Structure 1
Amino acid sequence: MAGSNVTQLFSASTAHSPSYFTLDRAGAGAAGGITDFCIPCNPYFPTPAMFDELGSRLRDILTYYPSGADTITAELCQVLGLNPQTVAMGNGSTELITWIDHLLVHESLAVPVPTFGRWTDQPMETGKRVDMLLLPEAHGFGLDPEAFVRFIRSRGSRAAVICNPNNPDGGFLPKQRVLALLDALRDLDLVVVDESFLEFADAEPEPSVAAEAVLRTNVIVLRSLGKNFGLHGVRFGYLVANPGLAGKIRAALPKWNLNSFAETVVFMLKAHRAEYARSIARSRRDREEMTWRLSRLPGLTVYPSQGNFVYVRLPQGADGIVLRDRLLSEHGVLVRDCANKVGSSSRFLRLVVRPQQDVDRLIGALEQVLYEPAQAAPEAAAWTPGPRRSAPEPALAAPPAHTGERSRHAPTAMLTRGYQETTSARDLGPVPPQGYTSGTAAVDRLVGGA
């Protein structure tokens, strides 16, 4: 494997990692395939039998035009129990974000960061002002809705977005707090609640605010299908809003914006609801076990998550970019470093929840690359599958101090890039810590309030 050529692909990418296909063509993980902890996808759905069915219909799927979006949307709404007049389906949630920006964001958009990059990049690309509230690391990157409202008022923002759960940290707001936020912002032009990862949340039985959104004149709820159904390549998602807002988006969408794969999958869902529910339950259990195992690695801070990914802070002195490159080139493990996420840095990784055997590979690779000597911590080595345990309460500020344990598991010299801690987690406030950069000067000025 040409490791240097593979890792150079990340330098050419700005807001996102190279695609799986780009890495595969470059020979990443050629010896044993790529174990993907980067793309947040349900690993248990579709089932093997569903893939077999899709394969048997491949010729027709590729040969014929799909039905119109109205037909596909009507079927999805039957499965989900939604009114088609309140729904617009898009070629992935990113297409819907694009049209929301073009049609409904007129002056400015407020968004907590770090978050999904298209919510900051898309409006900036169309010349809007993006007001970014930096989520404090000292509070586990949790969003304080009241502080967000004060921030919006101080900036005069006319639209706002929250992701629930948030990407990349998995932070979650209970439904009643989201509804209170919507009430407080009812005078804005638009409020979007991006629930792309909400299917993986188990903090409360019915966390979605989609039913309430249709009763409000300025609220859109965005939902993903590719992430939940394990089919990012199909590119489909939908939004829920009152008929006026939803109809405005539907009228702007291109004809045949949904492909035949999307249609085929949507019309298969009714017969496979039970398998889908089991896949989500397995992903939730995997998240608990993966969190438990990662929290055993010395110096690694693991933040509580309600998504199908876990946000971790690396031990002091370790650099996520160097770690990412070595994990991929030496172990075929693909991770998402967060150096290019506004409000984050190369001290953080987002690790997608995957089955136990894949986590074994991740943990082993981290132990070999991150620590010196390459030796597993006793707790991690002793872990074996068994009765479900509750994940320990993760640290929300800086990693704990290390004495003798620190010297035995210090980050290797190859994982540092001259990084120096410039501030403690408790010092993080509404401006970036000293030395923080997103790599884009205009973004840094916006985050810093300039």
Structure 2
Amino acid sequence: MALIVHPNVAKLVPYSPGKPLEELERELGIRDAVKLASNENPLGPSPKALAALRHPLKTVHRYPDGAAYQLTRVLADRWKVEPSQVIVGSGSDEVISLLVKAFLAPGDEAVMADHTFVMYKLYVTGSHGVPVEVPLSNWRHDLPAMAKAVTDRTRLLFVCNPNNPTGTMVTAEEVQALMASLPDQVIVVFDEAYYEYVRDPRYPDTLEFVRQRRPVVVLRTFSKIYGLAGLRIGYGISTPEIVDYLHRVRSPFNTSVVAQQAALAALEDEEHVVTSRGINEAEMELMTEALQEIGVSPLPSQANFLYFDTLRDGRQVFDALLREGVIVRHIIGSRIRVTIGQPEENQRFLQALRRVFHRLPVQTSRDERL
């Protein structure tokens, strides 16, 4: 039987997540592999979050609170907004999909960087919208160029800050200029999955635009510093009107009772967040210095990962590291992204990278797309 598939869907390439440890060990017969591919917190969840997982297991035969009533109110209180301005999703990327469903008709446009979180383009294309990709400038979002790319068909504009996969950020001054230049029909989506890792004081307070009732959505997640990636829970904060439309296209019971309870407990453990941030900052500094000694220059990062040019065939570097028992992410061309792990994981990666670099020749001609 010949399937009839929309051309936009037929041309999509499924999202490829970081290779699971179990899969690598099974395929190559490797034991004690290290995964530094998906920007997870190497410390894992807060002990309070782990303890909170026990109680809801007794009620898993019941559907969860579809509105995430308690978590919504805790988040609203934390960020000084109304509960009607918060929506909880199965990861913050579910909120991205809801935005696309609610606000993009076929042929409508969404502006985004051309080297950013790949799910923006996948969701927009899969919903028969038009992704308008704007090149980065010096590895950062070119906000003036993105503003110029807006047309009367633009409905969404995505700013991943800090950006994934580069780790770079845009400043409060740059964001203010962007917001002043956009028409009211454009909803600006600030994806701040790595917000808790940011150290630069110039980072924008985008929630202030929400409090001003501007057409802005701020996305946050429990998958990164809170260590709950396996439970899939995140949230968005926006105007009551925008959130209302998102609820209209949200699936019922979209977040589990286990995820909701773990998220509530994680929010209570600020010590775990501070510890995670401190280890990330210290290890990133050491990792950066070590990579520079090896001969590569990672981009300055405000997240929990480093992005760098291997000066070699990036796919070959990735595959060779797999055989060394180290999982990273090959992004494009000669570039890879590596998560900051615990000290022993980072040393394992660096030792493996030295061996791989010794075996693989430097490329004199590389595919530089940015």
**TM-score category (smaller protein):** 0.7 to 0.9
Q: CA deviation at 1:267?
A: 2.8
SS at match of 1:296: helix
- Give runs of aligned pairs for residues 178-189 of structure 1, distance below 5 A: 178-189=175-186
- Give runs of aligned pairs for residues 167-178 of structure 1, distance below 5 A: 167-178=164-175
The two structures have a TM-score, normalised by structure 2, of: 0.87
SS at match of 1:168: coil
339, 347, 355: which is aligned to 1:360? Answer: 347
1:179/1:209 contact within 8 Å kept: no
Return the alpha-carbon distance in structure 1 between the equivalents of residues 283 and 20 of structure 2.
23
2:49/2:266 contact within 8 Å kept: no
299, 303, 306: which is aligned to 1:303? Answer: 299
2:161/2:168 contact within 8 Å kept: yes
- Give runs of aligned pairs for residues 267-346 of structure 1, distance below 5 A: 267-298=264-295, 300-315=296-311, 318-329=312-323, 331-338=324-331, 345-346=332-333
173, 187, 190: which is aligned to 1:190? Answer: 187
Deviation by residue 1:217-260 (Cα, 9 ceiling, x = unmatched) = 42111111111211111101111111111121123212211102
Distance 1:327-1:206 versus aligned 2 partners, 3 A rule: closer
Q: CA deviation at 1:57?
A: 4.2
Paired-residue identity, %: 23
Within the alignment, does 1:148 sit opposite 2:146 as a pair? yes
2:23 alignment partner AA: L
Deviation by residue 1:156-199 (Cα, 9 ceiling, x = unmatched) = 64431111111100110112321221221133432211111121
SS at match of 2:289: helix
Distance 1:58-1:324 versus aligned 2 partners, 3 A rule: farther
SS at match of 1:288: helix
2:127 alignment partner AA: T
SS at match of 1:228: coil
Within the alignment, does 1:245 sit opposite 2:232 as a pair? no
Structure 1 residue aligned with 2:4: none
**Structure 2 stretches lacking a partner, 5+ long:** 1-12
- Give runs of aligned pairs for residues 90-129 of structure 1, distance below 5 A: 90-106=89-105, 107-129=108-130
Return the alpha-carbon distance in structure 2 between the equivalents of residues 273 and 39 of structure 1.
23
Return the alpha-carbon distance in structure 2 between the equivalents of residues 29 and 116 of structure 1.
32
Return the alpha-carbon distance in structure 1 between the equivalents of residues 302 and 18 of structure 2.
25
Return the alpha-carbon distance in structure 1 between the equivalents of residues 202 and 45 of structure 2.
24
Q: Please tell me the root mean square deviation across aligned C-alpha atoms, in Å.
A: 2.6
The two structures have a TM-score, normalised by structure 1, of: 0.72
218, 223, 243: which is aligned to 2:220? Answer: 223
2:48/2:266 contact within 8 Å kept: no
1:162/1:194 contact within 8 Å kept: yes
Structure 2 residue aligned with 1:60: 58
413, 420, 423: which is aligned to 2:365? Answer: 420
Within the alignment, does 1:39 sit opposite 2:38 as a pair? yes
Distance 1:61-1:128 versus aligned 2 partners, 3 A rule: same
**Structure 1 stretches lacking a partner, 5+ long:** 1-12, 339-344, 373-410, 426-431, 434-450
Return the alpha-carbon distance in structure 1 between the equivalents of residues 59 and 30 of structure 2.
30
Return the alpha-carbon distance in structure 2 between the equivalents of residues 247 and 28 of structure 1.
49
Deviation by residue 1:59-84 (Cα, 9 ceiling, x = unmatched) = 42645443332423223334444421
- Give runs of aligned pairs for residues 376-395 of structure 1, distance below 5 A: none
Moved more, 276-285 or 161-170: 276-285
Return the alpha-carbon distance in structure 2 between the equivalents of residues 332 and 51 of structure 1.
30
Structure 1 residue aligned with 2:230: 233
Distance 1:29-1:192 versus aligned 2 partners, 3 A rule: farther
1:314 alignment partner AA: T
Count of aligned residue pairs for this structure pair: 355
Structure 2 residue aligned with 1:264: 261
Distance 1:262-1:78 versus aligned 2 partners, 3 A rule: farther
Distance 1:61-1:205 versus aligned 2 partners, 3 A rule: farther
Return the alpha-carbon distance in structure 2 between the equivalents of residues 225 and 218 of structure 1.
24
Structure 2 residue aligned with 1:441: none
Q: CA deviation at 1:272?
A: 1.5
Distance 1:149-1:359 versus aligned 2 partners, 3 A rule: same
Return the alpha-carbon distance in structure 1 between the equivalents of residues 355 and 25 of structure 2.
26
2:91 alignment partner AA: G
